[in-house]
Amino acid sequence: MHATIIETLIEKFEQLPGIGRKSAERIAFHILERMSKDDVASMAACLNEAKEKILLCPVCQNLTDSSPCKICASQKRDPSVICVVESPEDVSAIEATNEFNGLYHVLHGALSPMDGITPDDIKINELLLRLGDGSVKEVIMATNPTVNGTATAVYISKLLSPFGVKVTRIAHGIPIGSDLEYADKITLIKALEGRQIM
Amino acid sequence: MHATIIETLIEKFEQLPGIGRKSAERIAFHILERMSKDDVASMAACLNEAKEKILLCPVCQNLTDSSPCKICASQKRDPSVICVVESPEDVSAIEATNEFNGLYHVLHGALSPMDGITPDDIKINELLLRLGDGSVKEVIMATNPTVNGTATAVYISKLLSPFGVKVTRIAHGIPIGSDLEYADKITLIKALEGRQIM
C-alpha cells in the first residue's frame, strides 16, 4: 500500500466532480513526479486565495473578487438587458460567445419541488430588486432547457409581469435535456438571436 | 469575463492530466460554490505536505514518505522476488490485486530511443545494485506490453543474465498496446500467474 499522505492526496482529488479513482491517482502521481515544488505551492496558494477572496457580486450574484463584479461595473455593457442564468458556468459559456453585451443575473440553481428548492433558495428576490428603478427593459431567461429550468423561467416571467419589462426566453437551439454550459458557441449564439417573447 | 483569480484557478486545474477546459471550470466552481473554506485549506495543505514529504524510496524508487518505503521495510514481504514496473501507478495496480507478496522496483519510465530516454534516464542501475548480495532469486518484468516497455524488459533481462537470477515476464493476459495501470484485477492476477522464463 502507498503511504498515507499519497492516499490522502488521491482522496482529495477523488472528491472533485468528474474525477474517479483512476484519474485521481493519475493526477496525484503527476503532481508528485512531474510538477515542481514551486508549481505545487502556487496551486495550493491559488486554492486558498480564491476561496478567501471570491464572493458573490451584490448586484448579479456571480462569483467575483471585486464588488460589484467587472461585468456589472463595466461602462461598456448595456444595463437595460439582464440575462438570467442558473450558474456561474453559464455566464462563462455565454461570455465566450462575445455576442452578449448586457448584464447577468445568477440564480444559483433552479426551482425543484422534488429536491425542496423553493423560490427563497435561489436568487430571485435579488433579481426583483434590480428592476425597481425602471432602467431594465428586457430580461432574457437563459435557464437550462430542463423541466426545472423551464419551470423556473416560467415562474420568474410571471413574477416580472407587473414590472412591465419585456421577458424573453433563450431559443431552443440548445438540445433539450442537456446542460447549457456544454453548448457550443454557435448554438448559444443562435439561441440568443432566436429568443421569443414569453 | 471572470475575475483573474478564478481564471487562474481554472488554469491550474487545466494543467493536470486528463482535465480539459470544461472539467477545470466545473472543478473550480465546485470548489468556490460547494466546498467549505476548511476543506479547501485542507486540500491546499495536503498538496504542499505531499510535495514536501514524498521522496523516492532509496531501495525500490517508489514514491514514499518513509525511508525505506513500507513495502521494502515490511517483514511480511518476500525479498527474493522483485517485480519491475514503469511507474508508481503500476505498483498501486498490482498491490490492489493482493496476489503479489514480493518487492518492487520502479523504473520511472521505459527506454525510448525516439524520445531520447536511455538506460541512464531510468532507474536501471539502482536495480542492478539490489542484486549484488545474491538474495534475489527472481526478477519479474512487469513493464507495459508496449514497444518501449517490451524493449525495456528485454534490455534489462540481458543485463541481468550475469547475476544468475531467474528473469520472468508478466504474462500477456493484458491487452497489448494498453496501459498496465488500467488492467482489471483478474487480468493482472492471470498475468502474474502465467509469467514465463525470458
pLDDT at A92: 87
Contact B18 A16 (CB under 8 A): no
Name the residue facing B89 among A29, A51, A70 (closest C-beta).
A29
Q: What is the average pLDDT across A161-172?
A: 85
CATH number for the domain formed by residue range(s) A4-53: 1.10.8.420
Q: Cα–Cα–Cα angle for A13, A15, A20, nearest 5°?
A: 75
pLDDT at residue number B172: 67
Across the interface, whether the CB atoms of B41 and A30 are under 8 A apart is answered no
Q: Using N-to-C axis directions, what is the helix angle for B37-53 and A4-14, rounded to 10°?
A: 140
CA distance B162 to chain A (A): 32
CB B162, CB B178: distance < 8 Å:
no
- Residue B19: predicted pLDDT: 94
Give me Rg for the CA atoms of chain B.
20
Q: pTM higher than 0.80 for the full model?
A: no
The residue of A4, A5, A40 whose CB has the most chain B CBs within 10 angstroms, and thus the best one to mutate to test that interface, is A5
For residues B175 and A31, which has the higher predicted lDDT (pLDDT)? Answer: A31
Contact present, A5 and B65 (Cβ < 8 Å): yes
Residue range(s) in chain B whose domain bears CATH number 1.10.8.420: 4-53
Residue A178 has pLDDT above 80, yes or no: no
Which residues of chain A lie closer than 8 angstroms to B65, CB-CB? 3-6
Record: contact A3-B63, CB cut-off 8 A = yes
> Is B2's pLDDT higher than 50?
no
Higher-pLDDT residue of A141, A184: A141
Mean pLDDT of B178-183: 70
d(CA A90, CA A104): 10
A chain contacts of residue B182, beta-carbon cutoff 8 Å: 22
The per-residue pLDDT for A197 is 67
Q: Which of residues 37-56 of A touch B (CB under 8 A)?
A: 37, 40-54
Residue B33: closest CA among chain A residues belongs to which residue?
A63
Give the per-residue pLDDT at A174: 62
Q: Which of A16-25, A90-99, A179-188, B28-37 has the lowest mean pLDDT?
A: A179-188
Nearest to A3 among B5, B16, B64 (CB): B64
Q: Are residues A5 and B54, on separate chains, in Cβ contact within 8 Å?
A: yes
- B54 burial via Cβ count (<10 Å: 0-12, 13-18, 19+): buried
Report ipTM (2 d.p.). Answer: 0.74
For chain B, what is the mean pLDDT? 88
pLDDT of residue A98: 86
pLDDT at residue A189, as a whole number: 74
pLDDT value of residue A93? 87
- The 8-class DSSP code of residue B48 comes to H
- The yes/no answer on whether domain B78-169 falls in CATH 3.40.1360.10 is yes
Q: pLDDT at residue A1 above 50?
A: no
3-state secondary structure of B52: helix
| pLDDT tens digits, A122-136 | 999 999 999 988 899
Domain with CATH 3.40.1360.10 in chain A: 78-169
Tell me the mean pLDDT in the region B166-193.
72
What is the pLDDT at residue A2? 44
Of B66, B64, B111, whose CA–CA distance to B84 is shortest? B111
Cell 459559456 belongs to residue: A93
Greater confidence (B95 vs A193) lies with B95
pLDDT at residue A157 is higher than 90: yes
